[in-house]
Amino acid sequence: MSKKNQTRGLETIFELPSRMLEAGIRTFEKGKKAITSRKPYKIAEEYWHTLGPGLVTGASDDDPSGIATYSQAGARYGFQFAWLSWFTFPLMATIQEMCARLGVVTGHGLAANIRRKYSRSALYVITSLLFVANTFNIGANLGAMAEGVRLVFPGISAPLLVIVFGITCVLLQIFTTYAQYAKYLKYFAFALLAYVLSALMMDIDWASVWNSFFHPTFTLEKDQIILVCAIFGTTISPYLFFWQTSQEVDEQTLHGVEESHRWKRLVTPEQMRGVKSDVWSGMFFSNVVMFFIIAACGAALYANGITNITSAADAAQALRPFAGNAAFFLFAIGIIGTGMLAIPVQAGSTSYAISESFGWKHGLYRKLKEARAFYGVIIISVLVGVILNFVGIDPIKALIYSAVANGIIAPVILFFIVRLSGNMQVMGEHRSSRLAQIIGWFTILIMSIAAVGAIISLFY
């Protein structure tokens, strides 16, 4: 090779990095231009459309009963239990993702999958306890919604409001199309922002909040054990498992997947990424709301010696003198909005579980005449919830009973979820990862401890 050619070759080698850098800069600038040319609201709109069952499930977890529990944690112990908002997040998100993946891959709800692989007698016991727990929760939530309205309009009859809310929830589930109903549930999730805004409007010592957030503390006092058990029970609730799985199936129907093609249908990695994004976004939203409720009640109530909170309405009323009218109204509005979101989810999850257990036609995409038994369970569940408000049952005791029922059945249902989601025959290549399985079994351990704590607290 001539000296001239060698020199040219060396020049080419040394110029290569600079050329690669120039090409990289041009590519970066092109990508940057493409991204910046998109308006922020377009990006937000695209993200909003990716959200669905995961967002609704996460938001419904913060029902009036859950709000009362979180408010009590803040009122009794200040910011001490703010750390639970990050501790429960990966547990509930992992479990709900297992449920979502199960529904997407198999095309069937949780109860239907349990029925295919395990004893039906165990499933019947689980669904019976689920009906009891959800019905008590529905009754308590209807009463809380009525009290939420009466905080703003005290002249309206509470019994009348309970009946109106109950009828409204049932009619929306029966007589709206699934596409409309799914949109309605998504928009009601915005009601939870009321609790974030109410906390941000207060004068809170955020340094103390973050200190409690990053430095978990807990004592073995009976009251703290009961409260922590209640928080776990209201955060990782059985009705969420059934609803999430079945809603993923209904979403398939909404997008044109025929029922005969559901079982073990082809699922793309892109679809799974969308499911994961939806679920983790919804669970993150749920736990953020928990954090802000504890912070708000810790700052306004605990700091002023108000530690006896028995309902979400009590928390709203107690906040008024210290946090102002704006925070009070936001808290009251949140009770109504979250109730309108949670009650249909609770009644619907009961109906999905029972209908799938007995092989009845089911799904909110079906008309009333196509699934009479499915809608009949929804009607009965809400009707019994309404009646509970007229028979003199203490709503706090109702919540305790539902917490015990949830505590007993949650570990059992979680066992089936973890086993099914990791089963190669059921899930194929989409089975849950080893890390997810470890988190799942750890959640079962935590929920079993919560169940024992709930039972002990009831009898001792």
In angstroms, the CA 249 to CA 244 distance is: 9
What is the pLDDT of the chain when averaged over all its residues?
80
Write out the two tokens for 290.
């928990």
Q: Which residue, 443, 378, 372, 375, is CA-closest to 413? A: 443
Per-residue pLDDT at 380 exceeds 90:
yes
- Work out the end-to-end distance of the chain between its first and last CA atoms, rounded to an integer number of angstroms: 95
pLDDT value of position 84: 93
Q: Which residue has the tokens 């009754």?
A: 139
Q: Which residue, 339, 249, 288, is CA-closest to 60? A: 339
Q: What is the mean pLDDT of residues 369-395?
A: 88
Tell me the pLDDT band of 31, cut-offs 50, 70 and 90.
low
Q: Which residue has the tokens 């919604």?
A: 145
Write out the two tokens for 24.
């990289």
Asked if 59 and 188 touch (Cβ cutoff 8 Å), the reply is yes
Helix, strand, coil shares, percent, the chain, to 5: 85, 0, 15
pLDDT value of position 83: 94
pLDDT value of position 416: 93
At residue 166, what is the residue type? G
Q: What is the mean pLDDT of residues 417-446?
A: 91
Count other Cβ atoms within 10 Å, centred on residue 32: 10
CA 155 to chain CA centroid, Å, is 33
Q: What is the mean pLDDT of residues 180-201?
A: 76
Percentage of residues in the chain having pLDDT higher than 90: 22
Q: Which residue has the tokens 């090779």?
A: 1
Per-residue pLDDT tens digits for 338-357 = 888 888 889 999 999 999 98
**HSE-up (13 A, CA, CB side) for residue 6:** 3
Q: Which residue has the tokens 């849950």?
A: 432
Per-residue pLDDT at 419 exceeds 90:
yes
pLDDT value of position 376: 94
At residue 248, what is the residue type? E
Per-residue pLDDT tens digits for 272-330 = 888 888 899 889 989 999 999 999 888 888 888 887 777 667 777 777 766 667 777 77
pLDDT value of position 420: 93
In b/e form, how buried is each residue of 76-111, taking b as 16+ CB within 10 angstroms?
A: bbbbbbbbbbbebbbbbbbbbbbbbbbbbbbbbbbb
Coil vs helix vs strand at 155 = coil
Per-residue pLDDT at 439 exceeds 70:
yes
Asked if 361 and 374 touch (Cβ cutoff 8 Å), the reply is yes
Q: Distances from the Cα of 425 to the Cαs of 261, 263, 309, in angstroms?
A: 17, 12, 49
pLDDT value of position 261: 46
In angstroms, the CA 137 to CA 143 distance is: 10
Domain ranges of the chain: 38-459
Per-residue pLDDT tens digits for 208-222 = 999 999 988 888 777
Architecture of the structural domain at 38-459: Up-down Bundle (1.20)
Q: Distances from the Cα of 456 to the Cαs of 225, 451, 452, in angstroms?
A: 10, 9, 6
Q: What pTM did the predictor assign? A: 0.83
Coil vs helix vs strand at 196 = helix
Find all residues with CB under 8 Å of 309, minimum gap 6, and list them: 68, 71, 72, 75, 76, 297, 301, 315, 318
Write out the two tokens for 1.
């090779």
